[in-house]
Structure 1
Amino acid sequence: MTATETPDVLAPAQLGPVKLRNRVIKAATYEGLSHKSLVTKDLVDFHVAYARGGVGMTTVAYCAVAKEGRTDRHQIYWTDEAMPGLRTLTEAVHAEGAAVAAQIGHGGPVASPKANGAPALAPSKHFHATAMSWAHETSVADIGRITEAHAEAARRAASAGFDAVEVHLGHNYLASSFLSPRINHRTDEYGGSLENRARFARDIMRAVHDAVGGRIAVVAKMNMDDGVPGGFWLDEAIPVVQWLEQDGTVDALEMTAGSSLLNPMYLFKGDAPLKEFADVMPQPIKLGVKMVGKRFLHSYPYRDAYLLEDARQIRAAVKLPMILLGGITGKSVMDLAMREGFEYVAMARALLREPDLINRLRDDEATPSLCIHCNKCMPTNFTGTRCVLVDRTTTRHATWGTSAGYVG
């Protein structure tokens, strides 16, 4: 790509059928701001802040496709009761000139059986050390039901006014756990060979595309590697994204890494906030984090654009539009992504610190990000996701649990 062909990251762009005012996407970060699986004013305000701050699109995180797929007891899933609030949210974001995506998926072995009142599901029976419980093997009937649930979630997202759905195929959530040879020990058509392990993810993407293709954009968020020995790695990710391209079911790819089940810090890089995680956990998990947390929450050196090296290999393997995630902190890194052939960038922690960073970068490209990658924002998703270094009132309201806290 020549210099004259390199797109301006802050200029309007097309994502599938959707026109974006720029190429910057607020990445999905679980907000911890829904209540009883319904939208609250806090959740609306959270996304309006990024829209007002200049992003092209913001992403509502972890909207589960089924009740048993939630990772938190307050997490949104696609009920009739949730729809009015979701419409209010999309209308509020649109009023600020931004687009809005819904991240849809099934938590699988990462789901919370206690909160959901139902066993977690995995490709094969799997012990979840954090939840101290066994995930049940997903039946073929479950696979069909959950595939259709993704399609229905996408249809409902379009009905609620979302401009895109981001299908979660990463982090060892259910579809990702099927891709992982470490977790998937099946001997049927969904286990063994890579083609078999990828069958579920491909079926999900076909179902979503058939449900909404052409009406709203469809993004796949998929691991390049799990960050654990014996897991899914880049050499297998490349053929899977090539199959997705051949299937014609995806408008853009967002490549990610790490396992929420086995190695959650692998995605984030930077410090592992062990004390802060322990502080928000109930017993006996709190004690476990204090005693053995270092074995589970590893620290990795941070650098800007830290997923670029691997994502570059995916970029070379497919012609699909791609979103670069991981260490996008300022205009110079965004421009690097454009020069490397990526069509969009996704930001999370830098925007948690400064929701208006994009507007300020538009005014002054040299504006530095204030994010220090301490990762202390991560444990706040239990109390309302935020940057702990910003002095502002906590986002949880005393009105929650009453009608005053809900919207729609």
Structure 2
Amino acid sequence: MTAPDVFSPARLGPLTLRNRVIKAATFEHMAPGALVGDDLIEFHRAHAAGGVGMTTVAYCAVAPEGRTEHDQIWMRPEALPGLRRLTDAVHAEGAAISAQIGHAGPVANGRSNGVHALAASASFSPLSMQKIRKATHADIERVTKAHAEAALLAAEAGFDAVEIHFGHNYMASSFLSPLLNKRKDEYGGSLANRAKVALGIARAVREAVGDRIAILAKLNMEDGVRGGFQVEESLQVAQWLERDGSLDALELTAGSSLLNPMYLFRGEAPVKEFAETLPQPLKLGMKMTGKKFIREYPYREAFLLDKALLFRRELELPLILLGGISERATMDRAMAEGFEFVAMARALLREPDLLNRMRENPATPSLCTHCNKCMPTIFTKTHCVLA
């Protein structure tokens, strides 16, 4: 069977995307007061004009304590007018738009949000230097319901899809991790117990929106941390999600924003640049010990492909390949290997119009150097420092 052209239209649940390239979620820091800002609209409009099939807005928290920091979209009625302006701008350029919804859990900055972060188990946050509170049964029920309400709000605002965040040791991911989940109740211990939060959220979202919009999820294949969530368990969770019929597609990711962030990115580790964003004495601490937290992994194209192929062989669910995609040849290989979509981030930060030029000339190179100096810009307004 001939592999599809990455620039050909494709079905995604109830949607037809103009091509098979998705702008992956990258936190933009363009939502002052937890509301859509003009810069955020222009950011996604530019990527839509640049040729993506769908752009993903990151990160839309489902609850106030679920934000990674205060100035991050929180899905509530007050956000609706701005969200509608955002979706209208993207649609005017011919692209679809997805809202990444989730709860940051232990990755949330409790001090910035004015309320303690929440996770599977209690611990201490190096981000806010505060206690992370263990989620009660009432919290789990509230957060699950909040995901469904956020998806409904996204549909009302004109989004074509939602992407539920089950990765990077955010709240649902913290439950999946045997390292972070030390609970003794029905949400801890066995994988079936640890997966209840993620499975329950996916079901709640599907029950809320039905087939009005596409439903995706971002799932860690592994945390990249000793004792954390591993590939074998992730594959089982993916099979359970497929069995439930809650999702239209699954985006495969890796790494822990809490414990090992560079495992997702690969390439240079911008420790000095991260340190410059911090106040003293955190700045000094980052400069002295930052390489233990921001570890460096060599970059290579499609660095998550080998593990993602394990999922492709076992699942019928449409899969989105993420990680180190910056060349047309990589996209073509993903299509040949049976992936329905590819997701790009850093290369498009450097060149939002890269896809338009690749479509015209497949030999067009990406100018992204994988220096990762875009990463510390999430504390101001996310951008490529070389562009």
User: Shorter-chain-normalised TM-score: which range?
Assistant: over 0.9
Q: Secondary structure at the match of 2:59?
A: strand
Where do 1:185-204 residues align within 5 Å? 185-204=182-201
AA of the residue aligned to 1:383: T
Q: Secondary structure at the match of 1:162?
A: coil
- 1:291 deviation in Å? 1.4
Question: 2:151 and 2:77 mapped to 1: Cα distance?
Answer: 14
What is the aligned partner in structure 1 of residue 287 from structure 2? 290
Question: 1:171 and 1:285 mapped to 2: Cα distance?
Answer: 23
Question: 1:336 and 1:10 mapped to 2: Cα distance?
Answer: 13
Q: Secondary structure at the match of 1:88?
A: helix
| Worse-superposed segment, 209-218 or 93-102 | 209-218
Instruction: Say if 1:127 and 1:134, in contact at 8 Å, map to a contact too.
Output: yes
Question: 1:99 and 1:288 mapped to 2: Cα distance?
Answer: 42
What is the aligned partner in structure 2 of residue 109 from structure 1? 106
Question: 2:292 and 2:131 mapped to 1: Cα distance?
Answer: 20
- 1:116 deviation in Å? 1.1
AA of the residue aligned to 1:381: I
Q: Secondary structure at the match of 2:77?
A: coil
Within the candidate set 146, 160, 169, 1:149 is matched to 146
Instruction: Say if 1:130 and 1:285, in contact at 8 Å, map to a contact too.
Output: no
Q: Secondary structure at the match of 1:201?
A: helix
AA of the residue aligned to 1:359: N
- 1:309 deviation in Å? 0.3
Greater length-normalized contact order (CA 8 Å, ≥ 6 residues apart): 1
AA of the residue aligned to 1:55: V
Question: 1:229 and 1:290 mapped to 2: Cα distance?
Answer: 24
Question: 2:67 and 2:289 mapped to 1: Cα distance?
Answer: 26
Instruction: Say if 1:226 and 1:257, in contact at 8 Å, map to a contact too.
Output: yes
What is the aligned partner in structure 2 of residue 39 from structure 1? 36
Structure 2 residue 233 is matched with structure 1 residue 236: yes
AA of the residue aligned to 1:110: V
Instruction: Say if 2:219 and 2:251, in contact at 8 Å, map to a contact too.
Output: yes
Question: 1:72 and 1:271 mapped to 2: Cα distance?
Answer: 25
AA of the residue aligned to 1:67: P
Structure 2: 5+ residue stretches without partners: none
Question: 1:163 and 1:283 mapped to 2: Cα distance?
Answer: 43
What is the aligned partner in structure 1 of residue 252 from structure 2? 255
AA of the residue aligned to 1:194: L
Structure 2 residue 27 is matched with structure 1 residue 30: yes
Question: 1:170 and 1:283 mapped to 2: Cα distance?
Answer: 30
Q: Secondary structure at the match of 1:210?
A: helix
Question: 1:382 and 1:31 mapped to 2: Cα distance?
Answer: 9
AA of the residue aligned to 1:132: M
What is the aligned partner in structure 1 of residue 377 from structure 2? 380
- 1:18 deviation in Å? 0.7
Q: Secondary structure at the match of 2:221?
A: strand
- 1:383 deviation in Å? 1.0
- 1:285 deviation in Å? 2.0
- 1:213 deviation in Å? 2.2
What is the aligned partner in structure 2 of residue 341 from structure 1? 338
What is the aligned partner in structure 1 of residue 87 from structure 2? 90
Q: What are the Cα deviations for residues 321-369 of structure 1, in whole angstroms up to 9, with x where unaligned?
A: 0000001102100000001100000000000000000100011000001
AA of the residue aligned to 1:153: A
What is the aligned partner in structure 1 of residue 67 from structure 2? 70
AA of the residue aligned to 2:72: Q
Where do 1:132-211 residues align within 5 Å? 132-211=129-208
Question: 2:88 and 2:183 mapped to 1: Cα distance?
Answer: 44
Instruction: Say if 2:112 and 2:128, in contact at 8 Å, map to a contact too.
Output: no
Question: 1:126 and 1:83 mapped to 2: Cα distance?
Answer: 34
Instruction: Say if 1:26 and 1:57, in contact at 8 Å, map to a contact too.
Output: yes
- 1:214 deviation in Å? 0.6
Instruction: Say if 1:24 and 1:57, in contact at 8 Å, map to a contact too.
Output: yes
| Worse-superposed segment, 344-353 or 75-84 | 75-84
Q: Secondary structure at the match of 2:143?
A: helix
What is the aligned partner in structure 2 of residue 17 from structure 1? 14
Question: 1:58 and 1:285 mapped to 2: Cα distance?
Answer: 34
- 1:122 deviation in Å? 1.1
Question: 1:207 and 1:162 mapped to 2: Cα distance?
Answer: 18
- 1:11 deviation in Å? 0.7
Instruction: Say if 2:222 and 2:255, in contact at 8 Å, map to a contact too.
Output: yes
The number of aligned residues is 387
Runs of 4+ off more than 3 Å: none
What is the aligned partner in structure 1 of residue 365 from structure 2? 368
Q: What are the Cα deviations for residues 224-279 of structure 1, in whole angstroms up to 9, with x where unaligned?
A: 00000000000100110000000000000001000000001100000110111011
Q: Secondary structure at the match of 1:225?
A: coil
Q: What are the Cα deviations for residues 87-120 of structure 1, in whole angstroms up to 9, with x where unaligned?
A: 0000000000000000000010000111111111
AA of the residue aligned to 1:50: H
Instruction: Say if 2:109 and 2:127, in contact at 8 Å, map to a contact too.
Output: no
Question: 2:284 and 2:172 mapped to 1: Cα distance?
Answer: 31
What is the aligned partner in structure 2 of residue 324 from structure 1? 321
What is the aligned partner in structure 2 of residue 53 from structure 1? 50
Q: Secondary structure at the match of 1:156?
A: helix
Structure 2 residue 238 is matched with structure 1 residue 245: no
- 1:284 deviation in Å? 2.7
Question: 2:323 and 2:253 mapped to 1: Cα distance?
Answer: 8
Question: 2:308 and 2:329 mapped to 1: Cα distance?
Answer: 18
Aligned-pair identity (%): 65
